[in-house]
Amino acid sequence: MKPKIDNIKMIFIDIDGTLYNSEKQVTEYTKNVLNKVKNKGIYVVLCSGRSSSSVCKVSKDVNASKYLIANNGAFVYNYIDDIDIFASEIEKSI
């Protein structure tokens, strides 16, 4: 059954300085909290200025949702289904 749009809940989390600790790691405690949130039907979406491949790796590591926001918001991607949801690129001529 497809969820109604008004029932969708999401948490957007930055990686560096937020998800990662001072050693640039995600603690087991944080992973457990993210899993509890996900089990309640809340999407966990990682957002970063990093490239999509880098964000994807972290997203898989913490078992976040299949959606990610990368390149400072210029790219929104569903990495499980390989679907570009949004892309904003500057033309090379500019």
Amino acid at 4: K
Question: What are the boundaries of each domain within the chain?
Answer: 5-87
Read off the pLDDT of residues 56-86 as tens digits, 9 standing for 90 and up: 999 999 999 999 999 999 999 999 999 999 9
Read off the pLDDT of residues 2-58 as tens digits, 9 standing for 90 and up: 656 567 689 999 999 899 999 999 999 999 999 999 998 999 999 999 999 999 999
Cα 22–chain centre separation: 20
Q: Which of the residues are catalytic?
A: 14
Q: Which CATH class is domain 5-87?
A: alpha beta
Residue 94 has pLDDT above 90, yes or no: no
Pairing of strands 75-78, 83-87: antiparallel
d(CA 71, CA 48): 6
Structure token pair of residue 42: 């809340």
d(CA 44, CA 10): 6
